């Protein structure tokens, strides 16, 4: 099944700046290669992109296992707003 994943974070929660949950303000470990992250989890990466100034991220992925979607997004859960929507491919 194909899914659209839409994410947003605030400038304060941006991985470029600092980790909001770290007492020492250490940089947040960010995922810079979502295609590789998908492969690691076992999800097919279709396409993705960002709108940096708005702190919006999106990607299309394919999987039949919802648990893999949770595992995929685990590193950014809690400080990114994440919306995962199943979609129909209208080829």
pLDDT digit string, tens, across residues 80-89: 899 999 998 7
**Dist. CA 89–CA 28, nearest whole Å:** 34
What is the average pLDDT score of the chain? 84
Q: Are residues 38 and 45 in contact, defined by beta-carbon separation less than 8 angstroms?
A: yes
pLDDT digit string, tens, across residues 49-73: 988 778 889 999 999 999 999 999 9
Write down the residue that tokens 């279709």 correspond to.
46
Q: Are residues 52 and 43 in contact, defined by beta-carbon separation less than 8 angstroms?
A: no
- Looking from the CA of 30 toward its CB, the CA atoms found within 13 Å total 15
Q: Which domains does the chain have, with CATH numbers?
A: 2-87 (3.30.70.1060)
Q: Are residues 69 and 6 in contact, defined by beta-carbon separation less than 8 angstroms?
A: no
């Amino acid at each position: 099944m194909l899914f659209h994943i839409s994410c947003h974070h605030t400038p304060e929660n941006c991985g470029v700046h600092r980790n909001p949950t770290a007492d020492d303000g250490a940089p947040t470990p960010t995922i810079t290669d979502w295609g590789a992250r998908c492969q690691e989890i076992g999800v097919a990466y279709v396409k993705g992109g960002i709108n940096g100034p708005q702190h919006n991220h999106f990607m299309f992925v394919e999987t039949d296992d919802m648990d893999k979607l949770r595992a995929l997004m685990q590193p950014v859960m809690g400080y990114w707003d994440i919306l995962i929507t199943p979609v129909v491919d209208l080829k």
